[in-house]
Amino acid sequence: MKTSTEPTQGNHETATTKARKARAESVPTLDLTKRPPRSPRTRLGGYAILPRMLDKGRATVASTNGEYHYNCPLDQRFVKFVGIDPQKLLAELKKGKGDGEILEWIQTNAKQKRAPWEIEQWSDYMDRRGPDSDPETFAFFGQYVAKFSKTREDIRTWADLLDLDDFVSFGGKA
């Protein structure tokens, strides 16, 4: 009796190879020139920022990242928190892994094994994080907001600003 890993006549692919190909085809390639990545507030495994980083990574692999940058300073906050190599994560994305598989890979390979309460606290902080107290950062933040609106007073966090930038960049009105 043949097992699924033995080649069949005319077909030398293993079941594992077929599964990888099917997975790669089932994970949609994002074109970030046509739509933004997920919000930094969106969570995967409790982690804020991670889904956005994965979207940018997949788009980078496909060369459809547009103005978005994988492993930007925001992504690096996640990378430092869990203790992973962003290039190794990108290599996993190149294999066509879905979000759940990537989360499993992160949990296995993270140097910083975080408890659920730590992940929740960190993610909540990332959602609420505004500009640092130095004058340069405040000025940069204010100028960035002013690019979209001179009257918006509700944009107070980096997540607010990124969501607004994404919205306006794809046709929304501030």
Share of the chain above pLDDT 70, in %: 84
Answer whether 64's CB lies under 8 Å from 33's CB: yes
What pLDDT digit, counting tens, does each position of 74-111 carry? 999 999 999 999 999 999 999 999 999 999 999 999 99
Count of Cβ atoms closer than 10 Å to residue 32 Cβ: 21
**Alpha carbon 81 to chain centroid distance?**
14
What does R_g of the chain's alpha carbons equal in angstroms?
Answer: 20
| pTM of the predicted protein model | 0.82
Average pLDDT value for residue range 50-78: 97
In this predicted structure, what is the pLDDT of residue 4?
Answer: 40
What pLDDT digit, counting tens, does each position of 118-151 carry? 999 999 999 999 998 889 999 999 999 999 999 9
In this predicted structure, what is the pLDDT of residue 48?
Answer: 98
- Average pLDDT, rounded, for the chain: 88
Answer whether 168's CB lies under 8 Å from 160's CB: no
Which of 71, 29, 78, 70 lies closest to 49, judged by CA? 78
Does residue 23 register a pLDDT over 80? Answer: no
Q: Torsion angle, CA of 156/161/162/163, rounded to 10 degrees?
A: 90
The half-sphere exposure of 128 on its side-chain side, counting CA atoms within 13 A, is: 6
